[in-house]
Structure formats: structure tokens, C-alpha cells
Amino acid sequence: MKIGERIAELRKDLGLKQKDIAQELNVAVSTVSNYETDSHEPDLTNLCKMADMLQVSTDYLLGRTDLTISIDNLNEQMTPSMSKAQMLDIISQFSEEDNAYLAKTIRLLYYQHPDVSEEE
């Protein structure tokens, strides 16, 4: 999926109009329309603003990941006190690529701290 498709889909999912995005970015509505049709790509500043506004990461907008949750939201949601089921629910949203990265990270942590018990 291209960046424009992702922007349009997220905007619609959040119930926003192109006008809402345009006002936030301080651009014309036609500029947002051009982003959504992939006629033009947003500059870095507007890309970052749109990611925040659409509640995803810039990597998601750029197609580098299929994980729609932003790192900030993930940090807020995943706390040490949450249940395993809650963690699994969040992880279920990850792409295969993100799951592979997560598995490598868990293995690395496990081998760095093999003496830490499962339940503390």
C-alpha cells in the first residue's frame, strides 16, 4: 500500500476530512488530496505532523512497517503491570517483520538475563 492510500484510509477511519488535515498542516485542501492520490509526497515536517495526527508512526505511513500503533502509544500502553493477555493483544497487531524483530529482541534479553525468573 502506498503512502497516499495509507493517509486516506487512516483519515477516513478517524472520521477526519481532508480539510481537517489541511488546517493542521497549514496547506491547501488540494495539497492533502495530492498526498492521498500520490501525486505529491509530504515533506518531512508534514509527514511527522500527519503521523501524529493519524496516530501512527512515520514508518507506517512510509510503508516500512504494517504496525499501525506508534511507538509513543506502544510505550504508553505496554506497562510492567499489564497482563500477558493484554500484551498479546497488542502484539497481535504486529506485522510478520515486527514479530520477527520482537522475537530476536526477546531472545537477546533472555540470554542477557537468564537468571531472572518468569514471575518476580
The band of 2, judged by pLDDT with boundaries at 50, 70 and 90, is very high
Residue 5 has pLDDT above 90, yes or no: yes
pLDDT for 118 equals 54
Mean pLDDT (whole number) for 44-51: 96
pLDDT for 19 equals 97
Would the pTM of this model clear 0.85, i.e. be above it? no
DSSP, residue by residue, 29-91 = HHHHHHHHTTSS---HHHHHHHHHHHTS-HHHHHTS----S-HHHHHHH--TTS-HHHHHHHH
Higher pLDDT, 68 or 44: 44
Distance CA 86, CA 99 (A): 16
Mean pLDDT (whole number) for 31-49: 96
